[in-house]
Structure 1
Amino acid sequence: MQMRKIVYKKGRKVQPLHFEYTGIHKNNDSEMQLFVYNDTDLTEYEKIEVADFDQSLIRQKTNWINIHGLNNIELLQSVGNYFEIDTYMLADILNTTKRTKLEEQQDVLFFNIKSLLPKDNSDNIQTEQISFLIKEGVLISFQEKRSDFFTHIRERIRSHSGIVRTKKADFLLYVLLDAIMENFYITLEHEEHKVEELINLSKNSDNPIILERIEKHRDNYNFLKRSIIPLRDSLYDIKTIKDDNVFNLIENDNFSFFSRLYQKSLELLEQIESDRIALDSASNFFFSAQTQKMNEIMKTLTIVSSIFIPLTFIAGVYGMNFQNMPELKYPYGYHTVIGGMVFLGIAMVIYFKKRRWF
């Protein structure tokens, strides 16, 4: 078997220490939102500045800084300088081509993830990179644009619903990651509805657009799988952090929550494999219908040809115009030959019918 060659595709490169936002949401303004809370108290700041951190952040409480928009490079550098964040991490936050990963460095935990959602009235999937940093009781989330991924979490914090106010920044990270993983389930459910629709269409139509849509959704499933596998690996790495017992930004009681996310990632991958098999069924239905239709056409053409072959032979014999052909002198020779040809054709049709060839 011949080995497939690996083709290098030259693309635009971003240097590790060069701060440049590579995403598509370049028209969104950058702004920050801050929640400072504990079990008994909550303070919320809208459109806060880095200069206000000294007065607003309370290290004894949980501090959640949410940044919308990554166009303001100076703002992100100011946040990085304030919290002494490694420049490589800032570059990874801005570079949306990076795969999902988990990284621990000294007193910082960095998590990078892709959030996926289906586009309305389309077979495409929209993606957004979201990054998280935990340092000294402060969780910083970086979003490419303002969205409603975490709206229900903000309401839970405001209304003191659940246990999120009683936990620290590591539990808040779990809640935010869980909200993002819910988007994977929504996307997967949307794909399943599309696949079911394609299966029904492939049974009743031979439109080649169906095959194009099948291939499009096969690409979507491959994209989902490529997005979830590094997430699964990153969640598994959190277990390694626990086993090392040297990183204290995640409390021991909260590792079980991240284990739940790991199990969810496994469930998503298993469901993707199952749905890909269903998508193959749609493709098989389409090709089977095409083959069946072609067989019916070929069978019809073959029967017609079989009927006309002996008739063509007879017409050819009496079309040779030899002088000594006695049938040419019979008064009813023409009518006899035509009648014989009609009788032969009808007899062949009856024979084919009895043999159930059509």
Structure 2
Amino acid sequence: MRKIKYKKGRKLHSFNLEYTGIHKRTDSEMQLFVYDDANLSEYEDFKVVDLAKSIDCKKINWLNIHGLNDIDLLKSVGDYFKIDDFMLADILNTNRRTKVEEQHDTLFFNIKSLLPAEDTDNISVEQISFLIKDGILISFQEKRSDFFTHIRELIRTHSGIVRTKKADYLLYILLDAIMENFYITIENEEDKIEELINQTKNSTDKIILEKIEKHRDNFNFLKRSIIPLRDSLYDIKSMKEDDVFNVIEIDNFSFFSRLHQKSLELLEQIESDMGSLHSASDYYFSAQSHKMNEIMKTLTVVSAIFIPLTFIVGVYGMNFKYMPELEYEHGYYTIIGIMILIVVAMIYYFKRRRWF
């Protein structure tokens, strides 16, 4: 899992344009959708030089950028759309917290997309950023992924209402698609927790405790990622009363309210799952304690049985010259018989008391 170190991350100047993520070998590519209710134009392998002739301000324009290594490309896009350098720096700096920010006619939003890593207990992280202004939505992804494949198909096939809405609705369904990844990640963690709970009932292997702590870290990481998202969505809800900033239509604020409600549900689910992890941890320690008690009980019983035998052996191991039993013809067999009787009697007594 790539940890997001909000406080201890590498410190960059607000205007220092440098990509800090891990996908440094991903080539930068652009894709453009220009559409309205009646028409759609789609451009693959789009170039910056084609922006002027392809962007239609009377329609909705979705420019999607994969890969953040080409700083010159991002600068060119920023210059064309008049994007401040500090926003570009936030897009490139993947150590930043999820946030929403408005400036003049531009709304900036970045979010962490989380998904389970394949064949491990880790969580893969990707930062996705959005800029929306004047019917134009620009999305920035660290690498090519299929988060928005179904949204592209909705646009191509004119399904749903996306083609009839403005760019703010497109932002809503993109954010909703990313939030679905949180549900997928949490569901994957829940399946592993259920498996761990079953393992604690059959084994006390210390690897189980290590896995429990690993998934506890994962849930804490999920929580740290969702809390700033919740706050950012609440900030968007609060913009409804702002008469100056109107990138989001009044009727569409209800959609972002739904996302805010989803973030609250995600946090509640995480709290519930962390409670299940805590129960699994308690069960593990209870099983360990029970196993230790069983061992100690067995050792105690064995010790208790050998105490009188040790006493007898100790008595007849003393080197006194005059000990009557030493000259008794059947003394050895008599003492052995007494010791056996003592063992049998003690075992019978312990069984009656159900001590083992």
| TM-score range normalised by the length of the shorter chain | over 0.9
Residue 61 of structure 1 corresponds to 59
Deviation by residue 1:170-221 (Cα, 9 ceiling, x = unmatched): 0000010000000000000000000000000111111111111100000000
Asked if the contact 2:109–2:129 (Cα under 8 Å) also holds between the matched residues in 1, the reply is: yes
CA distance in 1, matches of 2:189, 2:117: 11
Asked if the contact 2:9–2:95 (Cα under 8 Å) also holds between the matched residues in 1, the reply is: no
Does residue 87 in structure 1 map to residue 85 in structure 2?
yes
> What TM-score does the superposition give when structure 2 sets the normalisation length?
0.97
Residue 180 of structure 2 corresponds to 182
CA distance in 2, matches of 1:171, 1:63: 12
1:101-112 pair list within 5 angstroms: 101-112=99-110
Residue 17 of structure 2 corresponds to 19
CA distance in 2, matches of 1:354, 1:261: 65
- Give the drift of 1:310: 0.5
CA distance in 2, matches of 1:117, 1:344: 66
One-letter amino acid of the counterpart of residue 34, structure 1: L
One-letter amino acid of the counterpart of residue 131, structure 1: S
CA distance in 2, matches of 1:143, 1:12: 20
Does residue 200 in structure 1 map to residue 165 in structure 2?
no
Residue 143 of structure 1 corresponds to 141
RMSD: 1.1
2:266 to 248, 268, 288: 268
- Give the drift of 1:9: 8.1
Q: Percent identity?
A: 73
Residue 350 of structure 2 corresponds to 352
- The verdict on how the C-alpha distance between 1:199 and 1:70 changes in structure 2, with shifts beyond 3 A counting, is same
One-letter amino acid of the counterpart of residue 166, structure 1: T
Residue 168 of structure 1 corresponds to 166
Does residue 131 in structure 1 map to residue 129 in structure 2?
yes
1:291-330 pair list within 5 angstroms: 291-330=289-328
- Give the drift of 1:317: 0.3
| 1:281 alignment partner, SS class | helix
One-letter amino acid of the counterpart of residue 87, structure 1: D
CA distance in 2, matches of 1:220, 1:158: 37
Deviation by residue 1:12-54 (Cα, 9 ceiling, x = unmatched): 3222111100000011110110000000000001111121111
- Give the drift of 1:332: 1.0
- Give the drift of 1:11: 5.3
Deviation by residue 1:262-301 (Cα, 9 ceiling, x = unmatched): 0000000000000000011111111111111100000000
One-letter amino acid of the counterpart of residue 339, structure 1: G
CA distance in 2, matches of 1:244, 1:136: 17
One-letter amino acid of the counterpart of residue 95, structure 2: T
Asked if the contact 2:236–2:256 (Cα under 8 Å) also holds between the matched residues in 1, the reply is: yes
Deviation by residue 1:237-281 (Cα, 9 ceiling, x = unmatched): 012111122211000110000000000000000000000000111
CA distance in 1, matches of 2:154, 2:274: 37
In structure 2, runs of 5+ residues without a counterpart are 1-5
| 1:43 alignment partner, SS class | strand
Residue 3 of structure 1 corresponds to none
CA distance in 2, matches of 1:229, 1:223: 10
CA distance in 2, matches of 1:342, 1:179: 76
- Give the drift of 1:110: 0.2
Residue 337 of structure 2 corresponds to 339
| 1:130 alignment partner, SS class | strand
One-letter amino acid of the counterpart of residue 254, structure 2: S
| 2:102 alignment partner, SS class | strand
Residue 68 of structure 2 corresponds to 70
Residue 227 of structure 2 corresponds to 229
Runs of 4+ in 1 over 2 A off after TM superposition: 8-13
| 1:36 alignment partner, SS class | strand
| 1:204 alignment partner, SS class | coil
1:255 to 253, 256, 262: 253
- Give the drift of 1:10: 6.1
CA distance in 1, matches of 2:174, 2:8: 35
Residue 4 of structure 1 corresponds to none
| 1:110 alignment partner, SS class | strand
Asked if the contact 2:133–2:247 (Cα under 8 Å) also holds between the matched residues in 1, the reply is: yes
Asked if the contact 2:34–2:40 (Cα under 8 Å) also holds between the matched residues in 1, the reply is: yes
One-letter amino acid of the counterpart of residue 281, structure 2: S
One-letter amino acid of the counterpart of residue 81, structure 1: D
Alignment coverage as a number of residue pairs: 351
